[in-house]
Structure 1
Amino acid sequence: MLKALQAFFSLALCPLFGSPSASSDCSFETREMFKEGEYGGKSYKLYVPSTYDKEKASPLLVMLHGCTQCATDFAIGTEMNMLAEEHNFLVLYPEQDAKSNPNKCWNWFEPLHQARGRGEPAAIAGMIEEIKEAYTIDNHKVFIAGMSAGGAMSIIMAAAYPEVFSGLGVGAGLEYKGATSVFDALNVMNNGGPNPFEQGYLAYKEMGERARVIPTIVFHGTSDTTVAPINGEQVVSQWIVTNDLVERHNAGWICHGVNETIKGKVRNGKEYTHDLYRNKRGESIVEKYTVLNMGHAWSGGNDNGSFTDSEGPHASKIMWDFFIRENRKNGYSNQKSS
């Protein structure tokens, strides 16, 4: 009965996310573009840049697609493979399947998939370990980002496996455990989730003894009618709280107010505001781009992919620069490199 209700709920979201056939073409030939694999009942695609050298440790970025999307569509829309080729990092694209969710959404709203060692988080973590075994990966530079349902799942991954990740990027996502059933997920998408201060504590609690500061960057459009803008605000607040709880051990508390706001405009494109939240050492731990008049989209993406807005600031480039900058400056990762 529950499976039937889940299927009904997921299909009910189709008008919001767009039908798979209309929004996402996953029929591209991908053998030359990707290496393919499977772990934990989930398939994945891996982009390895032509500059990869097994004698040198390379960064790894995990990209989680949104509903109705697939790895190829997401790669094209975000242009992340082009960036990987330029900066020599690998990109892992886990894929959701229609059997697990009819709309191919990551099940971010189900308790089974909101914690370490089980469900979809365990499968994604297993994929990462498999890639680390096959390639020379710099454990100091493993990052994760996602769009919409993938953004929500990327947040879960960062909380459940903080020792794995050195940075988090969220596009049109939702806070940690924003919903805990298929019934309240739609309400959260429209109206926002629980108190982000409480969710921030829950994320910190999920981290446990592995707790690490996770530099986080968020993108959200002011005209998003699928995942309301309040959710982007809550993601920021949640991660400020989570990182603040970790930072207390380093006497570097994060200010809960915006330290700096930069206004900008893409040439021939959209206006945006860039908010920076810093700790007492002046380090930017959480950042947010609010894109004026952007709907449910990956900002600055390629129009050949689904759910993109080419007129926004280029989220992929900005995220990567943020990851590398904070990784070098803050030195929060305590892992050993391969």
Structure 2
Amino acid sequence: MTMNFRIDQTGAPGLSIDRPRALECRFRNSAGSRAYDLFVPSGPGDGPRPLVVMLHGSSQSARDFAIGTNMDRLAEEQGFLVAYPDQPRSANITKSWNWFRDADQQRERGEPSILAGLTREIMGRFRVDPARVYIAGFSSGAAAAAVMAMTYPDLYAAVGIHSGLACGSAGSMLLALPTMYRGALLPPRQATHPVPTIVFHGDRDTTVAPINGDQAVAQARPDSDLIVTTLEGRSSGGTAYTRTLLTEPAGAWTSEQWILHGAGHAWAGGHPAGSHTDPAGPDASREMLRFFMANPRR
């Protein structure tokens, strides 16, 4: 992995610093390579830090996604590392993660092996708590995050899916667009090792149909009786939402589904300087972090 410092900083990887760092990195393995930005918060922390991997959507960049989600600010506030892998046009002309290709839905193959590899590399170079490693994404990045939760449940403690699709919803580019518009024709297979999952989806999303959010929640659901709690609310910006909590009685697994009423294909509560954001929505970034930190890998 190569690292270039984007801003002046002191210290070295793995050591405490006085100021936050934004690093430009690249990971390579036999499946290919990806550049990614890595935000390292200031201060020594209270021990090994959590790590959140953030996957942008189509037409976005790593930096655009960082700005739109406000994750760097939250990382500095809460003391966790955050990585933003960047999908190049050479891998997909629209910069979409290839969630729909069979080869990119399997452990230790294709894009999943690259994303898992760069996650492990960061864990090896910095003081990362292995029980608090998470992955989240938007749109195609959310679909890729769902793939990572299915293929690497031993690596990621929880997953955030915003306006995305379940793993295995499509097996080719030919099926990708129809699946986005109407959902998978056949219910995606359930996870063998369910990972706690938080899903956000606008009920007026015309790019990725809301049924895909339902299917993502269903995929992550364990084969056991669950306690279901439904809450209604409204963000400070005026967006109404329905929040459904699914928990096992023993508390070993949980998920949340947020249906954002009247919202389209945009990151809820995001910063308007980033693309595909809806500042009026509830703060999806902060809610995901709350969910993640409450769900370390057990």
Which of residues 31, 34, 45 in structure 1 aligns to 2:6? 31
Aligned-CA RMSD value: 1.6
Which residue type is aligned with residue 129 of structure 1?
R
User: How many Å separate the matches in 2 of 1:178 and 1:46?
Assistant: 30
Corresponding residue for residue 14 of structure 2: none
For residues 75-102 of structure 1, give each alpha carbon's deviation from its aligned partner in whole angstroms, at most 9, with x where no partner exists: 0000011111011000011110000100
1:147-162 to 2 correspondence within 5 Å?
147-162=138-153
Question: What TM-score, normalized by structure 2, do the two folds share?
Answer: 0.89
5+ unaligned residues in a row in structure 1: which ranges? 1-29, 205-210, 245-252, 334-338
Gaps of 5+ in 2: 8-20
- CA shift, 1:283, in A, is 6.1
- Judge conservation of contact 2:195–2:253 (CA < 8 Å) in 1: no
Q: Name the SS of the counterpart of 2:249 in structure 1.
A: coil
Distance 2:123 2:251 in 1: 33
The structure whose residues are more often helix, as a share, is 1
Counterparts of residues 1-338 of structure 1 (less than 5 Å): 31-32=6-7, 34-40=22-28, 41-53=33-45, 56-196=47-187, 198-200=188-190, 203-204=191-192, 211=193, 213-240=194-221, 243-244=222-223, 253-255=224-226, 259-281=228-250, 285-327=254-296, 332-333=297-298
d(CA) in 2 for partners of 1:142, 1:282: 19
Contact 1:260 1:277 in 2 (8 A): yes
Give the Å deviation of 1:281.
Answer: 2.4
Q: Deviations over 1:189-237 (max 9, x none)?
A: 00001433x521xx42xxxxxx4x4110000001100001111111111
Q: Could you tell me the TM-score, scaled by structure 1's length?
A: 0.79
What's the CA shift for 1:59? 0.4
Q: Quick one: distance in 1 between partners of 2:47 and 2:202? A: 38
Q: Which moved more, 1:283-292 or 1:230-239?
A: 283-292
Poorly superposed stretches of 4+, deviation over 6 Å? none
Q: 1:136 to 1:309 in 2, by over 3 A?
A: same
Residues in 1 aligned to 2:103 and 2:123: alpha-carbon distance in whole angstroms: 25
Q: Partner letter of residue 92 of structure 1? A: A
**Is residue 160–residue 197 contact of structure 2 (8 Å, CA) maintained in 1?**
yes
Which letter maps to 1:222? D
Q: Does the CA-based 8 Å contact 1:276-1:284 persist in structure 2?
A: no
- The count of corresponding residues between Structure 1 and Structure 2 is 277
Larger strand fraction of residues: 2
Are 2:236 and 2:282, in contact at CA under 8 Å, matched by a contact in 1?
no
Q: Which AA in structure 1 matches 2:285? A: S
8 Å contact from structure 1 (residues 51, 85) kept in 2: no
**How far does the alpha carbon of each residue in 1:160-208 deviate from its partner, in whole angstroms, 9 at most, with x for none?**
1111111110000101110000001000000001433x521xx42xxxx
- Matched residue type, 1:112: A
Q: Equivalents in 1 of 2:60, 2:54: separation in Å?
A: 12
- Displacement of 1:51 in angstroms is 2.4
